[in-house]
Chain A
Amino acid sequence: MNVLAQADLRLDANAIDYVLLAVYFVLVLGIGYLARRQVSTSLDFFLSGRSLPAWVTGLAFISANLGAVEVMGMSANGAQYGMPTMHYFWVGAIPAMLFLGIVMMPFYYGSKVRSVPEFMLRRFGRAAHLVNGISFATAQVLIAGANLFLLASVVNLLLGLPLWVSIVVAAVIVLSYTALGGLSAAIYNEVLQFFVIVAALLPLTVVGLVKVGGWQGLVDKVSASPGGGAEQMSSWPGEAMTGLGSSFWSVVGIVFGLGFVLSFGYWTTNFVEVQRAMASKSMSAARRTPIIGAFPKMFVPFIVIVPSMIAAVSVGELIRDKPALLEGGSGETGVTFNYALLLLMRDLLPNGMLGVAIAGLLASFMAGMAANLSSFNTVFTYDIWQSYVKKNEPDTYYLNMGRWVTAGGTILAIGTAFIASGYENILQYLQDLFAFFNSPLFATFLLGMFWKRMTPHAGWAGLVTGAASAGTVWGLAQAEVIGLSDLGVSMVAAATAFVVDVVVSVVVSLVTAPKPDEQLVGLVYSLTSKESLKHATTGEDAGWYRRPGLLAGIALLITIVLNIIFG
């Protein structure tokens, strides 16, 4: 997330645009109100009573990730690097999502844990639980703050509203519906958000393509643009994006770094995502959640990255400043790649469509924040408060607690957003810091699910040393001992953390005592009966088109075809 500098981005929004925006806000709050009627227990509040259909949780699964940081970050990457950015979606998300649905979800859903940290607690005991729970909860509040800050800066740029007004208004709206309707309200709004985003960005992409003369026109213009050239039009090998010198190492980096350690760490252990699947109504639906999400996920880059590429070759300021920006400086007009989508909206969309586009952006930013808050309140209430502070209270206590924790989280996020408005780099550093936990978490989970000998001490030791090693790599890169691009650094850091975690876990396991087998039933593959990992194939889970394995196969096939077409 870069500084949103002083470029002239004011949109010509008129009354109709504001009306369309207002309609969206009314429906968002309406969903919160309606969802409230479905909340009568803490499980309803934190996990939607495990009652949602797979298409709802599947769309929420990808929308939760489609927040401000993602939309702005990916469009900036698209404007800068072009098609290689597609890998964040095709290589860096789809395989991990399918893996989550096929391999890991049976343990998450089958063991009936209410959060990812709770799985840690049952598998490895308290130390690992606390490391996971506290780092996750802290990270979510900070990311919610980042989303909030980004939202406010965009509103400030587009509509001229003061930063603090947008921060407070957006926070109050998000808080009202998440505190009222809990996870259901967050999830339903994420589904709504998905369609608003498509309604906003698809027309923008179409107009943009007409503007540059169709796909061939885009190819010609990108190939002729400075710093880009023809390699921006094919996703492989993406050397410019990875910062790895040779095309061989770039491909290796993308496949193993981005496609394995980074993305598996994020998608399979991040409770923001897994919570959506846990909210679904059956084992089959839980397994299908990330798999159904994979289908829209593979096409999202066409309406995020392609318009950004169009912006880079058709918006006056970006064309003029691109050479300076590519060298890491700033151009005379003050735009950055982050603005790509906003600039294209300003240049192309008439009033009416403009209102929908603004609604789409704000929808994405708010839903991203709501996702952070709704996973934060679950982990804080169940994994910190109920596990260590107030253990045996009646269920209504935890339900009320959840609402207060949501409010507390929102206030912390507002604080974070204000701090970020003063020191933007701090927020970036903190987010990097918490990302260090993702890849060792995945290593720990994978070992823990398939190796019953792994001990409680190995659980926390692997996590801590893995995260510390990722931090060391990151620190060396910040001190410019290692010269790599941002993506290159995260890939190397994640890979190091993964390896360190595995080595430390194995070594510690061999010298400490494992948990007795009977405590690991349902948590470890070899000790769990095959029946309890299976999903039902009757009733609402019947039919070939509801088989997780088949759906995953189709998703994988389409992803491969997309890679061949756009490779």
Chain B
Amino acid sequence: MATEQDPSTSRPRRAGAFDVRMIIALLLGIYGVVLLIMGIGFTTDAEEAKAAGVNINLWAGLGMTIAALAFVGWARWRPILVPTEGEEGTEDHPSGK
């Protein structure tokens, strides 16, 4: 039971090293760019006809690229703050506003 707040192990917070928003942006960005290229250059007329006449690679690629940029923007606008050493709890540091 008494495992949760052990004062001797003041573990370092390395939240700033890893922001899941950048990973989401990376994945959606790669997907978006690949699909855009596919949509512009490599989607055949037959494939387009199969997808009810929609060049879905192009549009989905565009959407994912925009979403990826939005995540990058969000991560830049409100970066994860690493609390300074010794501070505990979450109310101690200001939000990124």
Contact = CB atoms under 8 A, between A and B. Distances in A.
Contacts of B6: 41, 395
A276 to B, nearest CB: 14
A142 interface: no
A125 interface: no
B91 A536 contact: yes
A287 to B, nearest CB: 14
B56 A353 contact: yes
Given A20-B31, A542-B95, 19 more contacts: A23-B31, A24-B27, A37-B18, A42-B3, A43-B4, A44-B11, A112-B4, A192-B24, A199-B31, A202-B60, A203-B59, A208-B52, A348-B56, A350-B57, A352-B39, A352-B42, A352-B57, A353-B51, A539-B91
A464 to B, nearest CB: 26
Contacts of A42: 3
A297 interface: no
Contacts of A207: 51-52, 54, 56
Contacts of A395: 3, 6, 9
Contacts of A348: 50-52, 56
Contact of A206 (B9, B17, B44, B54): B54
Q: Which of B13, B20, B28 has the most CB of A within 10 A?
A: B20
Interface in B1-51: 3-4, 6, 9, 11, 13-15, 17-18, 20, 23-24, 26-28, 30-31, 34-35, 38-39, 42-44, 47-48, 50-51
A210 B90 CA distance: 48
Contacts of B93: 539-540
A49 B10 CA distance: 12
A194 to B, nearest CB: 9
Interface stretch (A26-34, A247-255, A491-499): A26-34
B92 interface: yes
A46 to B, nearest CB: 10
B44 to A, nearest CB: 8
B74 to A, nearest CB: 10
Given A207-B51, A398-B3, A540-B90, A352 B38 contact: yes
Contacts of B91: 282, 536, 538-541
B50 A41 contact: no
The 3 closest A-B pairs by CB, nearest first: A350-B47, A352-B38, A211-B52
Contacts of B42: 352
B47 to A, nearest CB: 4
A196 B28 CA distance: 8
Contact of B11 (A40, A56, A206, A540): A40
B86 interface: no
A44 B14 CA distance: 12
- The size bracket of the interface on A is 35 or more
A188 interface: yes
B29 to A, nearest CB: 10
19 contacts: A19-B34, A20-B30, A23-B30, A41-B9, A188-B20, A192-B27, A202-B63, A203-B60, A207-B51, A208-B52, A349-B51, A349-B56, A350-B43, A352-B35, A352-B42, A353-B35, A395-B3, A539-B90, A539-B94
Contacts of A542: 95
A561 interface: no
Contacts of A515: none
Given A37-B17, A206-B54, A23 B47 contact: no
A385 to B, nearest CB: 13
Q: Is the interface of B mostly helix, strand, loop or mixed?
A: helix
Interface in A168-206: 188, 191-192, 195-196, 199, 202-203, 206
A449 interface: no
B56 A203 contact: yes
B23 A30 contact: yes
Nearest to B95: A540
A303 to B, nearest CB: 13
A535 to B, nearest CB: 11
A35 interface: yes
A120 to B, nearest CB: 14
Contacts of A56: 20
A28 to B, nearest CB: 9
Contacts of A156: none
A195 B24 contact: yes
A347 interface: yes
Nearest to B9: A41
Contacts of A351: 38, 47
A44 B57 CA distance: 40
A27 B18 CA distance: 13
Nearest to B55: A350
Given A23-B27, A192-B23, A282-B90, A539 B34 contact: no
A114 interface: yes
Interface string B66-97: 01000000000000000000000011111100
A458 interface: no
A196 B27 contact: yes
A188 B21 CA distance: 9
A44 B4 CA distance: 9
A10 interface: no
A281 interface: yes
